[in-house]
Amino acid sequence: MGEVIVVTSGKGGVGKTTTTANIGTGLVELGKTVVVVDADIGLRNLDIVLGLENRIVYDVVDAATGGCKIKRALIKDKRYEGLFLLPAAQTKDKDAINPAQMKALCDELKKDHDYVIIDCPAGIEQGFKNAIAGADRAIIVTTPEVSAVRDADRIIGLLEASEIEDYRLVVNRVRKDMVKRGDMMSIEDMTDILAVKLLGVIPDDENVIVSTNRGVPTVTNTASLSGRAFQNISRRITGERVEFLDLDESDGWFTKFLRMFAPNN
């Protein structure tokens, strides 16, 4: 029996879809079978980020309402063995399914796959309620900004009220230089206010934008810091203990060399 994990945030644009695509692919690279489900009905994006938009025939609304057999709606990714996508519908909206249908769908999917990862839409309305209906665990994605943290706090409150008690935080788009200058919230500030365990930290990385446009998740690129961060998150999800990356590695060797002489630089 697999696990259903919902990736949510409250705030839009913080990296839920990117995170879903990357940890889904990351887990498959560790040998797991994964279905990633796009629950953002009406505004689907997960298919684009995975480069699978040309293969969509059926979608999550068809599968959840019995319009087609669930297996027919799953798109098998030919590049990564074990990765399946259940895309959202683009021509309907979030009232097209209800939480009970979503839960039934998740219960069915977790029978045949190790992980079912749900890409939750932004907000706290019907779309959110649908997305969390079948979830066992939650990953909350946020950026180090006051507004994102405020929304994440609200979301955690709603998750607790729905009795999802296993939730962890991913902080996305961290810029270490800004944190050092005091222009950006530090990880400690955030975990302090949110009172939540940290799952991973992803540095701000141009490679992510390139990869989402190309439809190739950055987790497969071990040369990029963001790719390695996503790999570590995938490993932590399976229960492995992994050290957090030293984000200073984004500096070149010369800068690191200089730092030996001026350690406070």
Partner 1 sequence: MNLERLIEFKGVNHGLLLQIVAPFENFNDLLIGIRMKISAARDFFHGAHIVGVEGIILSEEQRVALFNLFTTKFGMTVSTLDSPSVQNFIFQNQQEEKEKEHNREERGVIQTPVVIDYSDYKTKIVRGVFRSGRTIDYDGNVVIVGDVNPGAEIRACGNIIVMGTLRGVAHAGKDGAEDAFVIASKMLPTQIRIADVSTRAPDGDESTLKTEIAYLKDGGVQIEEL
Q: Which residues bind partner 1 (CB under 8 A)?
A: 150-151, 153-154, 156-158, 160, 193, 195
Q: How far is the CB of 150 from partner 1 (least distance, A)?
A: 6
Q: How far is the CB of 155 from partner 1 (least distance, A)?
A: 9
Cβ nearer to partner 1, comparing 104 with 158: 158
Cβ nearer to partner 1, comparing 160 with 248: 160
> Is the CB of residue 85 less than 8 Å from the CB of residue 75?
yes
Q: Going by C-beta distance under 8 Å and a sequence separation of 6 or more, which residues neighbour residue 110?
A: 1, 2, 3, 4, 116
Q: How far is the CB of 195 from partner 1 (least distance, A)?
A: 5
DSSP code of residue 77: P
Q: How far is the CB of 6 from partner 1 (least distance, A)?
A: 18
Cβ nearer to partner 1, comparing 59 with 153: 153
Cβ nearer to partner 1, comparing 160 with 249: 160
Nearest alpha-carbon partner for 180 in 228, 96, 82, 247: 247
Q: What are the percentages of helix, strand and coil residues in the chain, rounded to 5? A: 45, 15, 40
DSSP code of residue 205: -
